[in-house]
Amino acid sequence: MDCGCAPGGWSAYCSRKLSLWDSENQHNWTIIGIDLLKVEPIQNVHLIQGDFTEKSIKLNIQQLLAGTHCCDLVLSDMSPNHSGHKDIQHYASMTLAQSALEFFIQVGKPKTGSFLCLYFVGEQESTFLEQM
């Protein structure tokens, strides 16, 4: 799952890599990309336009995960709108990172799932890393 996927680079990269790995075309994998912005269609990627932090969007994602109910990878490239103020940027990015981490805890594959996220460095960083 790619949170904050616009313009689609990471989702497209994952799709290409999984397609190469899946040489027998079993296609027993799903890539979900979500962003506030509209993203042009990407082969083998389910795109959702909306706010990842909204409950209805998270329910939509869980429906797409039906059958597996877990993700091997949650990638969060979500970034707040730039305010020009370092501390505000940090707190806003940590809120998005925390939301992605909480969702990963719910849907990440136990013991083998991976979580990767973007955040701006600041005073909440060490507390966030301790949660992981």
Stretch (H or E) spanning 46: strand 45-49
pLDDT tier, 89 (very low <50, low <70, confident <90, very high otherwise)? very high
pLDDT value for 27:
64
Amino acid occupying residue 10: W
Bridge partners of 2, per DSSP, are: 33, 75
d(CA 77, CA 3): 6
pLDDT per residue as tens digits for the range 10-35: 999 999 998 888 777 666 788 999 99
DSSP symbol at 71: B
Global pTM? 0.87
